[in-house]
Amino acid sequence: MWMSAFPTRPCLTQRWSGHLALAMIGLMLTVGSVAVSAAGPEAFEPPVTCLCISADGEYVVDGSQAGIRIRRWHDLAVEAEHPIPCAQIHDCRISADQSRLVVVGGDPGQTSFVGVYAWPDVSEIWSRQFGEDVLYAGSFAQSGDVLALAGHDHGVYLVNADNGEPQSILRGHSKPATDVRILNDSRTLLSCSIDQTIRVWNYQTGSIVRSLNNHTQPVIAMAVRPVTEGLPMIASVGEDRTVRLWQPTIGRLVRFCRLKSPANALTWTNTGDRIIAGCRDGCVYSIVADTLEVRTYPDISSGWVNSIAAHPKQSSIVVGTSTGRVRKILLDH
C-alpha cells in the first residue's frame, strides 16, 4: 500500500502547542512599524496552510481547505480559484522550470492526495490518492523528473513527476515525516520528522547517508539556502523553538538560536543572508544567518503564522495565517 493521508500542518503542529517560552539566543530587536499590505480583513476563514511564489515574482499561490488561489503579487487580489479534491492541503510548490505546480494533502485517516498541474493555467496533468493518511510536503528535483513526498505514515515517497508512478519508498523515520527537500546535486534528499531527526539520503540508491539529531523535539520544516557557491546550507525549525543552520552534505550543525515561540514555517530571503520564520505567537522573525541577530515583526496575526514565502526579486515576504489571511511584508534591511 502506498501512502497515508495526513492532517494539514497546522493540525499537526497544534497538537504540540502550549510549551513554555524559552530564552532567546542572539540579539532580539523589536520593529516598531511594519510595512504590510493585506488581502481582506482579519477574519476567521480556513487557515492558509501553504504558499509559494512564481519565479518572476508576479503571482502568489496559496492553499487552504477552500482549495488553491492564484493572486497577483502587487495587490494580492485573487485572479483564480481552483478546488482540490481533498479535505486538507498541506503544501504547494512550483517546479524549477516553472512548468508545473504540485499540491499535496489528503483526508486524515482515509487517504493522501498529490496532484500535479500545469503552471500557470493550473490544468490537471495527473493526480493520485494512496494509502490511509495524508501527505505533508512535496519537492521537485531540479531536473523536474522526480517528485519527493513526505508522509504521515513515516515514509518518504519518490514518484515520477510526469505521471505519478511510484519509484521507491524511503523508510527510516519512526514517526510522521513533516517536510522534504531535494538538493540540486541530483542525489541528496533531506527529510525531517516528528521523531526529532533530519535524515540525509542518497535518493538514487535509497540509502541513508546520515542522521542529524540535534533537535530535542519534533522537526516541523526545512528550507534550502538559495545560493550556489560553497556547500549547501539548510535551515530547520522544531518544537524546541530553535532555528538551526546545517551543512547537511557533511553533517555539520553550523549554529542555532532560540525564538520566543515555535515556528510553523520558514524560508530564506532571496539573497540567502536571512532566514524568516513564521511562528505561533502571530509574529514573524528575521534571523541574520551569519550573526543570529533576530528582528521581530510583531502582531502579524491574531492567530498563528502558518505559512511563508519570500519574493524572488524583492526584500519582501508573504505570509498566511491561521485566521485565513494573506499578508505581504516589506523587510527592513
In a domain, 42, yes or no: no
Residue 225 in contact with residue 233, Cβ under 8 Å?
A: yes
In a domain, 194, yes or no: yes
Q: Report how many domains make up the chain.
A: 1
What is the side-by-side strand order in the sheet with 207-212?
177-182, 188-193, 198-202, 207-212
Residue 15: give the domain boundaries: 9-21+49-262
Q: Is the pLDDT of residue 14 over 60?
A: no
- pLDDT confidence of 130, banded at 50, 70, 90? confident
Q: In this structure, what C-alpha cell is assigned to residue 118? A: 500545469
Helix (H) or strand (E) holding 10: helix 9-14
Cell 519582501 locates to 316
DSSP structural state of residue 331? P
Quote the Cα angle for 158-103-298, to 5°. 115
List pLDDT tens digits, range 79-119.
999 999 999 999 999 999 999 999 999 999 999 999 999 99
Task: Find the mean pLDDT for residues 129-142.
Answer: 92
Q: Is the pLDDT of residue 291 over 60?
A: yes
Cell 542522521 locates to 211
In a domain, 191, yes or no: yes
Amino acid identity of residue 150, one-letter, is A
Q: In this structure, what C-alpha cell is assigned to residue 173? A: 523515520
E strands, 183-313, in order: 188-193, 198-202, 207-212, 219-224, 234-238, 242-247, 252-258, 263-268, 274-279, 284-288, 294-297, 305-310
Q: Is the pLDDT of residue 265 over 50?
A: yes
Residue 103 in contact with residue 118, Cβ under 8 Å?
A: no
- pLDDT confidence of 27, banded at 50, 70, 90? very low
Q: Is the pLDDT of residue 37 over 70?
A: no
Residue 267 in contact with residue 287, Cβ under 8 Å?
A: no
Q: Calculate the dihedral angle through the C-alpha atoms of 120, 125, 130, 134, rounding to the nearest 10 degrees.
A: 10
Cα–Cα distance, 12 to 91 (Å, whole number): 13
In a domain, 192, yes or no: yes
In a domain, 297, yes or no: no
Residue 253 in contact with residue 244, Cβ under 8 Å?
A: yes
In a domain, 164, yes or no: yes
> What mean pLDDT is reported for the chain?
89
Name the pTM for this structure. Answer: 0.88
Cell 492567530 locates to 303
Residue 171: which of 146, 147, 191, 185 has the closest Cα?
A: 191
Task: Find the mean pLDDT for residues 290-315.
Answer: 97
Q: What percent of the chain has pLDDT over 70?
A: 86
In a domain, 38, yes or no: no
Tell me what pLDDT residue 20 has. 24
In a domain, 287, yes or no: no
Cα–Cα distance, 232 to 212 (Å, whole number): 15
Residue 221 in contact with residue 181, Cβ under 8 Å?
A: no
Helix (H) or strand (E) holding 321: strand 316-321
| 280 phi, psi to nearest 5 deg | -80, -10
CATH code: domain of residue 120: 2.130.10.10
Tell me what pLDDT residue 144 has. 94
Cα–Cα distance, 201 to 189 (Å, whole number): 5
